[in-house]
């Protein structure tokens, strides 16, 4: 593989899809998602002018992550140069209306999945003395918001992990980029009435373009939701 390799979680829709499209201009992109259809369709789209491979697996499952790493090696898509931890889930409401299962779901996807993926990919990056993790956070990791206590907690946890990891891996030549953005006009809000009018937010394409440009020189990127 002549191109560097970027692996993007939650690549089927929204920001993950737009990041994949932008990154496919300079990387071979590995599209990760639980559902096969969206990432297969995106891979077909990218392969008209770029290079992409779909790799469906559950990013919260350690065994599936190990199998995915094995598959990447079999496909000669190894080592991975850039890991984009984009997959995320949100459940919103007052603290007394939330179910513990919803909190667990958010921590599994928003916090533990990036930790597990980092653990899987960082050893090879350390050997090579280079690599990039791009962790997609939220402005909810910078300040609390009404009816977002559980979501904010999962993102604050990822913020702490990412900042510590950045210091830990800097001597190994590995960057940990933190991208904090407000709400976007994506399908993320379709299962919730937490945001009444997401059309007032930036589009995923706009946000992806800002991230790709800023990550050239910055390790901390803040993008507010309003245009």
SS3 track for 83-146: EEECCCCCCCCCCCCCCHHHHHHHHHHHHHHHHHHHHHHHHHHHHHCCEEEEEECCHHHCCCCC
N-terminal to C-terminal alpha carbon distance within the chain = 39
CA torsion angle 212 214 216 217 (round to 10): -170
Cα distances (Å, whole numbers) of residue 203 to 32, 49, 53, 91, 225: 21, 23, 25, 21, 9
Bridge partners of 222, per DSSP, are 180
Q: Which one of 57, 92, 121, 151 is the catalytic residue?
A: 151
User: In the numeric block, which tokens belong to residue 34?
Assistant: 């639980």
Instruction: Give residues with Cβ within 8 angstroms of 227, minimum separation 6.
Output: 200, 201, 202, 206
> Using an 8 Å Cβ cutoff, are 18 and 39 in contact?
no
Q: Is 151 part of the annotated catalytic residue set?
A: yes
CA pair distance 177, 135, nearest whole angstrom: 6
The sign of the dihedral angle between the CA atoms of 163, 168, 170, 173 is negative
Catalytic residues: 151
């Amino acid at each position: 593989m002549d191109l560097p390799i970027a692996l993007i979680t939650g690549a089927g829709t929204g920001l993950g899809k737009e990041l994949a499209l932008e990154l496919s201009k300079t990387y071979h992109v590995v599209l990760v998602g639980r559902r096969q259809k969206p990432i297969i369709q995106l891979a077909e789209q990218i392969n008209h002018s770029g290079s992409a491979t779909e790799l469906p697996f559950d990013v919260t499952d350690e065994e599936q992550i190990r199998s995915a790493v094995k598959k990447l090696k079999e496909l000669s898509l190894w080592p991975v140069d850039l890991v984009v931890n984009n997959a995320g889930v949100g459940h919103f409401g007052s603290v007394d209306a939330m179910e513990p299962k919803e909190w667990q779901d958010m921590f599994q996807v928003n916090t533990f999945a990036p930790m597990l993926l980092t653990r899987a990919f960082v050893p090879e990056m350390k050997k090579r003395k280079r690599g990039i993790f791009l962790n997609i956070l939220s402005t909810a990791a910078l300040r609390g918001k009404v009816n977002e206590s559980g979501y904010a907690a999962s993102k604050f946890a990822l913020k702490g992990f990412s900042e510590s990891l950045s210091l830990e891996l800097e001597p190994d030549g590995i960057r940990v980029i933190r991208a904090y953005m407000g709400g976007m006009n994506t399908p993320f809000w379709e299962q919730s009435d937490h945001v009444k009018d997401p059309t007032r937010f930036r589009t995923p394409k706009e946000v992806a373009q800002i991230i790709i440009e800023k990550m050239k020189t910055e390790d901390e990127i803040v993008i507010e939701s309003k245009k």
